């Protein structure tokens, strides 16, 4: 099990490989997405039990709106079913839910469930679960700049003040970013926030990424020396 020392406070996960997982088994892509949703629940609870304070899952990017409409419709339905099923479980487990991204692009039913889940879990304090949905890091930064200008704070901005205009305001920056499926890029995920994050890439497809590999990622993180640009003498 991971040591309590040097434990990542905030982990971000780019959940990738659902479609390829399904294709490798001769299954429809939609089955990969369904199994990926099941895996997400396991990892959320595992992260909470391990002591992670914040977990951000990259669920659906702004670029994903370019996918076939039939696939998008299934993904949105899966998200709706998932929230309906899990919102009370989140509250029971002490998990505070929040969504980041351009929520207005989502179907009205999904928007309503996101708002309901956020309200239902607002007093929870064991772990923050942040769902990046209809999200793009560049888009988030642009929206933050516009908010800063509208507030009149643009002439007084420093990094700390600017961070308050981001979707993740109030949440510590991620210590560890995990990407599954063998890809070695961050795909527009938490660009500002992950400036000094450690990265863990695995060939495992998301539906096969279990608690054991989450533990391995944390243990790998704990073996690294984080200097944040400084030199250790």
- Annotated catalytic residue within 16, 128, 167, 175: 16
Structure tokens at 98: 């929040």
Q: Nearest 5°: phi and psi at 124?
A: -70, 150
In whole angstroms, give the CA distance from residue 220 to residue 212: 12
Instruction: Check if 64 is active-site.
Output: yes
- Annotated catalytic residue within 18, 49, 64, 158: 64
- Residue 52 and residue 9 in contact, taking contact as beta carbons nearer than 8 Å: yes
- Residue 98 and residue 130 in contact, taking contact as beta carbons nearer than 8 Å: yes
* DSSP per residue, 176-222: EEEE-TT----TTSSTTTTTT-EEEE-SS-GGG--HHHHHHHHHHHH
Q: Nearest 5°: phi and psi at 232?
A: -85, 125
Instruction: List C-alpha distances in Å: 74 to 23, 52, 67.
Output: 17, 30, 11
Task: Point out the residues that are catalytic.
Answer: 16, 64
């Amino acid at each position: 099990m991971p040591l309590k020392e040097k434990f990542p406070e905030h982990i971000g996960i780019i959940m990738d490989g659902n479609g390829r997982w399904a294709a490798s088994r001769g299954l429809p892509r939609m089955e990969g997405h369904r199994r990926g949703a099941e895996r997400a629940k396991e990892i959320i609870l595992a992260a909470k039990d391990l002591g992670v304070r914040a977990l951000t899952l990259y669920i659906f990017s702004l670029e994903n709106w370019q996918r076939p409409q039939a696939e998008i419709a299934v993904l949105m339905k899966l998200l709706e079913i998932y929230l309906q099923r899990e919102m009370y479980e989140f509250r029971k487990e002490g998990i505070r839910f929040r969504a980041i991204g351009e929520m207005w692009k989502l179907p009205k039913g999904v928007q309503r469930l996101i708002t309901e889940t956020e309200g239902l879990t607002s007093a929870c304090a064991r772990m923050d679960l942040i769902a990046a949905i209809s999200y793009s890091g560049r888009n988030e930064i642009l929206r933050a700049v516009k908010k800063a200008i509208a507030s009149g704070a643009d002439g007084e901005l420093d990094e700390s003040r600017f961070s308050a205009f981001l979707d993740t305001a109030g949440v510590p920056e991620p210590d560890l970013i995990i990407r599954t499926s063998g890809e070695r890029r961050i795909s527009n995920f938490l660009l500002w926030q992950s400036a000094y994050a450690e990265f863990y890439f695995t060939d495992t497809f998301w539906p096969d990424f279990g608690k054991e590999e989450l533990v391995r990622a944390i243990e790998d993180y704990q073996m690294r020396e984080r200097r944040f640009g400084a030199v250790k003498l």
